Chains A and B, each alone.
Chain A
Amino acid sequence: MANYSTNEFKPGLKVMLDGDPCAILENEFVKPGKGQAFNRVKVRNLKNGRVNERTFKSGESLEGADVMDREMEYLYSDGEFWHFMATDGSFEQVGADEKAVSDAKNWLKEQVIYQVTLYNGAPIIVTPPNFVELEVVETDPGVRGDTSGGGTKPAKLMTGAVVKVPLFINIGDVLKVDTRTSDYVGRA
């Protein structure tokens, strides 16, 4: 991979830092009137998602990271790996381990398209779409006629996720859920 100098640290650039692939979020030029210039950089570690602040002497460089985001369809899980297939017609498949799917695990549904971040060709993060539609498999019986809102109750979805839903929701209902907040949005 190419090397990138501090002045090329634009948001979105993927670089290697402490052996992990990281994405640049912000880059600020800091220079006292007298003295060394620095670049204060905010990065997200793509393996653990943590955001860190790092500072470099201006002009230092980092190796680029072989990181790629691909749209992939979820196929199935064999218990150890979660399998995805490319949607670009190549039918290429990858298996993501539990760590890579940890953020998406509650929202994995077959035939839905996910963003899979590949590092050196291997999946490191699976990001769900902002909204998914999932069926309710477990909840207290619905209160008929109560569509006005007010109270909520827990409902377990087909993926195992538990979300708060209005009282009128029944088993078998398909719900639209915001994956970023785990909020119920509405009936699909």
Chain B
Amino acid sequence: MLRFLGKRLWEGMVTLAALVVATFFFMRLAPGGPFSKNRKVSADVLEHIKASFHLDEPVWMQFGRYVWGLMHLDFGPSLRFRDYSVGDLIAAGLPYSLTIGFWAIVIAALVGVALGVIGALRRNGAADYLAGTVGVIGIAVPIFVIGPLAQVVFALKLAWVPVGGSDQGWRSLVLPVVVLSLPNIAYISRLTRSSMIEVMRENYVRTARSKGIGGRRVLVGHVLKGALLPVIAYLGPATAGIITGSILIETIFAVPGIGRHFVDAALNRDYPLVMGITLLYGGLLILFNIATDLVRGWLDPKVRGHG
């Protein structure tokens, strides 16, 4: 297990290093610069500004300087938000993004698994059709269509919750979290349903039944334990989906999180901010994938063998 963990962490470091190099050079090679949208200043002043951020140095020297900073956990200053460091901006935005992402995953897992289990137990019943409908809608209708529609219905017409922002406590979280969890509810309920149906046909479940173990205990102890494996394996990729979704959600609902920061920073060529958020997302994704593999290995001896 430890060797497996070490190997995965090492691979994660390689991926992260590749991510740093790729992001750094992609950003520098992209046309436009951080100050090209500012009001016109004389060439002298522009040179001066660039020099103060070391942007006048050759790219490889800037890269060296950046990596040196990273080793000291210094992500550099933001080029657009004067007097803020990238660390400050991330620290300010991350709580919003994490809260929304966390609750979205929790709700998606709970509702998705529940819908999937009900669907598998009462196949072709009303609940199964309901789950199937939710599944198809969640997969086919994009977040950026459902989100605005939800705003119109629940915020503008019914006025149950605010349209967006973050100043009303949990009430302003409701819409972003629900909308963000929808596609994942869809995937998880589909996965749970099909893997439940598969597991219920397994020999070990039949054995357990024939030994006279009651319906509920077989369901919880035998069927669910086996059926949830693919669902847990999906939680790694789901994190990636949540990251993608949170960028949209933060744009639609005007949440001051890091997803919207990222898009703005990329459009404004705020190099250090883009780098910082990319590293954060990349690191999160890698850690989640490793954690997923560990949990799977713990639950399923077959996976452990291949590690």
Are A and B a genuine interacting pair, yes or no?
no
